Amino acid sequence: MQRLFFWIFTNCFLLLGYLSYDAITLPDDSDLPITEATSEVVIEKGDSYLTKVTDLIGDPLDFSSGSLTKAGASIEQNRSALIKESTIVTYKVTDGALSDESINYSNTKQQNYAKDTLQHYELWDSFTTIIPSELRSNVKSFSIFSDGTSNLLGYVEPLDYAADTWQLGVDFADSTDKKNFYYTLIHEYGHLLTLGNDQMVINYDWSTSSETESTYSSFYGESIPDSYMNLYYQEFWLDYYKEWQHLDVQNNVEAQKEFYLQHPDDFLTTYAVVHPEEDIAESWTFFILSPRQENTTVAQEKQNFFYQFPELIEIRTHILENLLTEVKKD
């Protein structure tokens, strides 16, 4: 009888230990191998954050200024004279924090705002809250400007020709429309994601480019074959890129309207026709800020393009979790 009790006790103890071990070592979502099944779990988690954001501020793609056509600036162009004249203050970014303030004293209209350091830090805090630190480590400069409301909302540009480091610029006048501001920050990160030096061959010989090149070329370099930008270009722009170039859509407002009307189901916003790089940034922002679509139009396919990359699904969920944190501050 004693042996029987000992056997029962021993086996119960081992079973309890086994169950306890499973409970302790069961991996969370971040430890699971990336498979289609686990990606679905991450998508659902991201959607749950999006639902909570929507409950607090409404549809994040519906904001009062109607500036969906104005989110971002062409990454191919250096800052225009307009931006230089409207720059108010610029900071260096060191270890993710602002330092070495530089005021543009020639902008006499904005001298009062130039001294409002607290508001500068609040704008930067919004960006650093929404975009995870490991995704913005190459942002080494932060500029605040204003050209009035609903014009240029923000921009990013490389600080060096190798595109190792970047500057983020935001228009403080447009930041008062919070949903518009969140949209802009996510859009601008879309440029950092798709045009960084891990996505492109820098120091590209622009004089050798042609309309028949096999990969997408930017002003700063040539996209590597499996980069997000090149894959997007190959899938969505190859058929009408020559037409777009011939019509000079990038520089002609009337051509932009006409091109959009010719392809109304191909673009998520009218601004997306301005440039392939703006198109992917707009699609990226819709990917973050709305649920997966049904692929009934090319525009929806563009939004869903990013779901094929498990790492971008993870980033979407982190950004939405962080956006919820930012929204709760207000």
pLDDT in tens, 260-315: 999 999 999 999 999 999 999 999 999 999 999 999 999 999 999 999 999 999 99
**282 domain residue, yes or no:** yes
Characterize the bridge pairing of strands 139-145 and 166-171: parallel
85 shares a domain with 52: no
pTM: 0.84
Which two structure tokens, joined as six digits, stand for 73?
Answer: 């600036």
d(CA 10, CA 221): 68
**39 domain residue, yes or no:** no
73 shares a domain with 181: yes
310 shares a domain with 166: no
Q: Please report the pLDDT score of residue 100 as a whole number.
A: 96
Q: How far apart are the first and last CA of the chain?
A: 69
**214 domain residue, yes or no:** yes
306 shares a domain with 323: no
238: left (phi over 0), alpha (psi -120 to 50) or beta: alpha
77-108 pLDDT per residue, tens: 445 666 778 999 999 999 999 999 999 999 88
Band of pLDDT at residue 139, cut at 50, 70 and 90: very high
184 shares a domain with 85: yes
- The DSSP H or E segment spanning 228 is helix 228-236
Q: Please report the pLDDT score of residue 63 as a whole number.
A: 67
195-226 pLDDT per residue, tens: 988 998 875 554 554 444 589 987 778 899 99
76 shares a domain with 54: no
325 shares a domain with 278: no
227 shares a domain with 311: yes
Q: What average pLDDT is seen over the chain?
A: 83
170 shares a domain with 81: yes
**Domain count of the chain?**
2
Helix (H, G, I), strand (E, B) or coil at 296: coil
Angle CA(186)–CA(120)–CA(90) in degrees, nearest 5?
90
Strands (E), 284-326: none
| Of 198, 160, 176, residue with least CA distance to 119 | 176
232 shares a domain with 86: no
Q: Please report the pLDDT score of residue 81 as a whole number.
A: 63
In the chain, the amino acid numbered 327 is: V
Q: Which residue range is the domain that position 50 belongs to?
A: 45-62+198-315
Q: Is the pLDDT of residue 5 over 90?
A: no
| Of 185, 68, 171, residue with least CA distance to 125 | 185
**26 domain residue, yes or no:** no
95: left (phi over 0), alpha (psi -120 to 50) or beta: left
**143 domain residue, yes or no:** yes
d(CA 171, CA 123): 10
323 shares a domain with 288: no
Please state at what angle helix 178-195 crosses helix 276-289, rounded to 10 degrees.
120
**244 domain residue, yes or no:** yes
**17 domain residue, yes or no:** no
245 shares a domain with 153: no
**108 domain residue, yes or no:** yes
